[in-house]
């Protein structure tokens, strides 16, 4: 049975997720400040995907390395009620989550819930890629990603 420590292993850390209002403006500002370029961007939503917990969404996402850390910028697009829009409306722009790769998402969710955490959002994109957000003790949100590719 998985425990919380094996699910939030620093060696399996993937990225820091940051919610923003204007992703293009933030990419420009971060590029100028940190000296990074060549952001990878994508717009996607829940069409054709199985939302297990949460609401439909559309996002614009940008990813880049900033020194030793991968940063994921997320801008909600017409996504009222989504976990990202709620964060933006309630707290404004800022760090939203820390992401970790896991081998068994269901076991990881169970371990987090046993440790006092709460599942906030969960989606199945393909049979080989699933992810969720959970609130964990310490007032943090973690993203757990289970993928086989």
pLDDT score at 127:
72
- Return phi, psi of residue 32, to 5°: -65, -45
- Please, what's the b/e burial string for 131-142 (b: 16 or more CB within 10 A of its CB; e: otherwise)? bbbbbbeeeebb
CA–CA separation, 133 and 26 (whole Å): 23
Are the C-beta atoms of residues 17 and 72 closer than 8 Å to each other? Answer: yes
Q: In what order do the strands lie in the sheet with 40-45?
A: 40-45, 58-66, 69-76, 13-19, 94-101, 140-147, 129-136, 118-126, 50-53
Write out the two tokens for 52: 């297990």
| Sequence-ordered strand ranges (E) for the chain | 13-19, 40-45, 50-53, 58-66, 69-76, 94-101, 118-126, 129-136, 140-147
Beta bridge partners of 45: 58
Q: Which of 136, 131, 134 is nearest to 147 (CA)?
A: 131
- Whether 1 shows a pLDDT value over 60: the answer reads no
4 vs 23, residue with greater confidence: 23
User: pLDDT digit string (tens) for 27-82?
Assistant: 999 999 999 999 999 998 876 678 889 888 999 999 999 989 999 999 999 999 99
pLDDT score at 147:
87
Q: CB within 8 A of 22, min separation 6: which ones?
A: 75
pLDDT score at 4:
64
User: pLDDT digit string (tens) for 87-144?
Assistant: 999 999 999 999 999 999 999 999 999 999 999 999 888 777 899 999 998 889 999 9
Write out the two tokens for 124: 């199945």
Report all structural domains of the chain as residue ranges with CATH numbers, in order of start.
20-47+55-96 (3.10.180.10), 97-149 (3.10.180.10)
């Amino acid at each position: 049975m998985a425990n919380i420590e094996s699910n939030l292993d620093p060696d399996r850390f993937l990225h820091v997720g940051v919610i923003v209002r204007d992703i293009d403006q933030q990419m420009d500002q971060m590029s100028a400040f940190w000296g990074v370029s060549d952001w990878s961007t994508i717009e996607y939503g829940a069409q054709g995907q199985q939302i297990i917990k949460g609401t439909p969404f559309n996002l614009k996402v940008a990813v880049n390395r900033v020194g030793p850390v991968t940063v994921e910028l997320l801008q909600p697009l017409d996504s009222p009620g989504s976990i990202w829009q709620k964060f933006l409306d309630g707290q404004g722009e800022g760090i939203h989550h820390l992401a970790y790769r896991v081998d068994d998402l269901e076991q990881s969710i169970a371990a987090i819930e046993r440790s006092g955490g709460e599942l906030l959002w969960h989606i199945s994109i393909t049979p080989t890629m699933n992810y969720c957000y959970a609130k964990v003790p310490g007032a943090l949100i973690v993203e757990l990603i289970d993928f086989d590719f």
